[in-house]
C-alpha cells in the first residue's frame, strides 16, 4: 500500500496506561499530521511534523507527545490515559498542491478505546 | 480564531434530488477551503478544493467571501453519495493545519 498507513487499527487499554500509535506517510511526503476525531469534539488537529521537526501544535494535551523519525514515520504517544481520550486518531501526510496549498492524504485511523 | 461551521449534522434527500451541504467559516485572512468525504469504512479523502474550481463526482463548491461560505452542491443526488462530508479550512503560509467542521452525514434515499 503506497498510501498512508497506521498501526494498530484498534487499541483497547485501561485508564492510566500509555500507548503508542504509529504512522507511515506516503512515499516522498515529508509532512505528517495527527488529528483526533471524537464524538463531542469532531476532527481536531493535534500536531504537524515536517522532515523530523515540529512545525505546528494544535489542541494537543501535555500528556500527549509525538515525534517523526529519520525514515519519516511518526509516532504519537498518549500517556496517563483517561476515558475521554477514547477516539479515532488519524494521521495524514501531504504533498504540495499549489503555491501555498498542501493536499493532505489521510490514513485509515487507529481507534483507541480506554476502559 | 479560525472556525468552520457545518450547521446540519444530518441531511437526508431522495435520489435525483438536489443536494446542498452548508459550510460557513470565520477567518480574517485569505482562506483555502476544502471538502473531504468519508464513505462507510473508508478513510477520509479529498473531494474538492476551492482553488481548483473543479467538479468532482458532480459536486461543486463556490467560495463566497462576502458570506464566508463554501457550500457543497450537486444537482442530482445518487445513492453512492451517502457518506460523511467535512468542510475544512487550511491556514496558509506554512501552518498547513486543517480546521474541520463537525461534519454532515448525508443519506440518499432510493
Q: Does A51 touch chain B (CB under 8 A)?
A: no
Mean pLDDT of A3-18: 96
pLDDT at B22: 97
CA nearest to B40, candidates A108, A72, A4, A57? A108
Please give the pLDDT value at position B29: 77
Among partner residues B44, B45, B96, which is closest to A102 by beta-carbon distance? B96
Residues of B in contact with A56 (CB under 8 A): 95-97
For residue B46, the chain A residues in CB contact (below 8 A) are 103-105
Residues of B in contact with A109 (CB under 8 A): 43
Instruction: Provide, as residue numbers in chain B, all residues whose Cβ is less than 8 Å from the Cβ of A33.
Output: 96-98
- Alpha carbon of B26 to those of A7, A21, B1: distances in Å? 35, 32, 7
Q: How far is CA B73 from the centre of its chain?
A: 9
Spell out which residues of chain A touch residue B30, defining contact as CB-CB under 8 Å. Answer: none
Cβ pair B98:A35 closer than 8 A: yes
B85 touches chain A (CB under 8 A): no
Distance CA A5, CA A107 (A): 5
Q: How far is residue B50's CA from residue B3's CA, in Å, rounded to a whole number?
A: 17
Q: Which residue of A has its CA nearest to B98?
A: A45
Tell me what pLDDT residue B20 has. 97
Q: Alpha carbon of A60 to those of B27, B30, B77: distances in Å? A: 21, 26, 38
Q: Which residues of A94-114 are buried (b: 16+ CB within 10 A; e: fewer)?
A: beebeebbbbbbbbbbbebeb
Residue at grid coordinates 494544535: A58
Q: How far apart are CA B88 and CA A76, in angstroms?
A: 23
| Mean pLDDT on B34-61 | 88
Average of pLDDT values for A59-69?
94
Q: How many CB atoms lie within 10 A of CB B99?
A: 22
Does B8 contact A at CB distance below 8 Å? Answer: no
Structure confidence at residue A96 as a pLDDT band (50, 70, 90): low
Of the pLDDT bands very low, low, confident and very high (cuts 50, 70, 90), residue B49 is: confident
Portion 88-107 of B in contact with A at CB < 8 A: 90, 92-103
Q: Which of A67, A65, A64, A45 is nearest to A54 (CA)?
A: A67
Positions of E strands within B6-103: 10-14, 19-21, 24-26, 32-38, 45-49, 60-61, 72-74, 83-90, 98-100
Do A101 and B90 lie within an 8 Å CB cutoff? yes
pLDDT greater than 60 at residue A1: no
Number of helices (H), then strands (E), in chain A: 0, 11
Q: How confident is the model at residue B83 (pLDDT cuts 50, 70, 90)?
A: very high
Residue whose C-alpha is closest to residue A93's, from A50, A54, A59, A37: A50
Amino acid at each position: 500500500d503506497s498510501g498512508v498507513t497506521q498501526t494498530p487499527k484498534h487499541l483497547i487499554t485501561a485508564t492510566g496506561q500509555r500507548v503508542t500509535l504509529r504512522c507511515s506517510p506516503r512515499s516522498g511526503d515529508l509532512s505528517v499530521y495527527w488529528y483526533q476525531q471524537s464524538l463531542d469534539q469532531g476532527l481536531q488537529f493535534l500536531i504537524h511534523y515536517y522532515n523530523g521537526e515540529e512545525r505546528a501544535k494544535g489542541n494537543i494535551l501535555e500528556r500527549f507527545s509525538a515525534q517523526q523519525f529519520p525514515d519519516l514515520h511518526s509516532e504519537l504517544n498518549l500517556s496517563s490515559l483517561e476515558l475521554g481520550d477514547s477516539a479515532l486518531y488519524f494521521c495524514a501526510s501531504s504533498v504540495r498542491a499549489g503555491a501555498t496549498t498542501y493536499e493532505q492524504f489521510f490514513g485509515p485511523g487507529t481507534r483507541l478505546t480506554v476502559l | 480564531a479560525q472556525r468552520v461551521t457545518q450547521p446540519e449534522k444530518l441531511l437526508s434527500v431522495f435520489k435525483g434530488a438536489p443536494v446542498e451541504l452548508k459550510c460557513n467559516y470565520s477567518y480574517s485572512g485569505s482562506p483555502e477551503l476544502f471538502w473531504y468525504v468519508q464513505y462507510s469504512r473508508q478513510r477520509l479523502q479529498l473531494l474538492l478544493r476551492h482553488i481548483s474550481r473543479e467538479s468532482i463526482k458532480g459536486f461543486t463548491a463556490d467560495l463566497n467571501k462576502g458570506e464566508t461560505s463554501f457550500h457543497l452542491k450537486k444537482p442530482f443526488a445518487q445513492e453512492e453519495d451517502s457518506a460523511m462530508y467535512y468542510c475544512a479550512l487550511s491556514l496558509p503560509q506554512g501552518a498547513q493545519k486543517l480546521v474541520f467542521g463537525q461534519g454532515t452525514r448525508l443519506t440518499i434515499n432510493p
